[in-house]
Amino acid sequence: MGSSGINAEYMGSSGINAEYMGSSGINAEYMGAMAGNKKGKKKKWSKGKVKEKKNNLALFMQGDGEDGDKYEQALVSIPKMKTITIAVVSERLKVRGSLARKLIRLLSQRGEIRKITDERGMCIYTKQAKDEDDEE
């Protein structure tokens, strides 16, 4: 007899009636847990959708190839955009975010684009408003 006064033969190792569970308490617990699952099989998880990897440019290369004039194209097209962010430039010009940041910084220093806000790393720019004095 144990210190709690309960018959040791009556109780299994986990404190559940061993006679009710059968000869082996562990197997009966496992089988009881598996009974709730359909046909005793483990659930198969879906692998999820895999995003296609983007092959964006990391550098502007000089040359006559199709990527050779991307730098000049970027300097012309970015100031024409209404809303300019790193994500927008990166997506439209197919360049990496670090390269987009440098392009935006360069155009901002030149005065071709105007900063709207710079809050928590999210920089938003817009095209420079045309002044009447510049057109004359």
- CA 103 – CA 93 distance, rounded (Å): 11
The answer to whether 82 and 116 have CB atoms below 8 angstroms apart is: no
- CA 75 – CA 81 distance, rounded (Å): 11
The 10 Å Cβ neighbour count of residue 95 is: 23
SS3 102: helix
Q: What is the pTM of this model?
A: 0.56
122 strand-pairing partners: 119
- From first to last of its 136 residues, the chain has per-residue pLDDT tens of 555 555 555 555 555 555 555 555 566 666 666 666 556 567 777 778 888 887 877 777 766 666 567 888 888 999 999 999 999 999 998 888 999 999 999 999 999 999 999 889 888 999 988 764 454 4
